[in-house]
């Protein structure tokens, strides 16, 4: 299973610092980063391999709020995907 998230943010540098600092927490919740892209200055996309869907969903519903605040996230749109 994979997860792609579109993040809308005000400052790409602030986002990247917070994103990098949050790596350990995401990892503890079964999320391994595969790729990170930036779309202009206001959006970033992250693709994760998911080892534990329940833990990843719990992270998104809880602890991710702290990351979102630190990173200046104005919107986050997660999509869990499986190979068809």
- Looking at residue 39, what is its pLDDT? 96
- Looking at residue 81, what is its pLDDT? 96
Give 2-81's CATH code, choosing from 3.40.50.970, 3.30.70.260, 3.40.50.1370, 3.30.420.40: 3.30.70.260
- Looking at residue 17, what is its pLDDT? 97
- Looking at residue 43, what is its pLDDT? 97
- Looking at residue 32, what is its pLDDT? 98
Question: Is 10 within 8 Å of 70 (Cβ atoms)?
Answer: no
Q: Indicate the SS3 state at residue 39.
A: strand
Q: Which residues of the chain have pLDDT under 50?
A: none
How far apart are the C-alpha atoms of 35 and 81, rounded to whole Å?
A: 15
- Looking at residue 25, what is its pLDDT? 96
- Looking at residue 53, what is its pLDDT? 96
- Looking at residue 68, what is its pLDDT? 96
């Amino acid at each position: 299973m994979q997860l792609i998230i579109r993040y809308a943010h005000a400052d790409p540098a602030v986002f990247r610092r917070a994103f990098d600092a949050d790596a350990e927490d995401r990892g503890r919740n079964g999320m391994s980063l595969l790729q990170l892209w930036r779309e202009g200055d206001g959006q970033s996309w992250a693709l994760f391999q998911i080892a534990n869907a329940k833990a990843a969903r719990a992270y998104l519903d809880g602890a991710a709020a702290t990351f979102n605040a630190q990173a200046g996230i104005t919107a986050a749109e997660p999509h869990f995907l499986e190979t068809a």
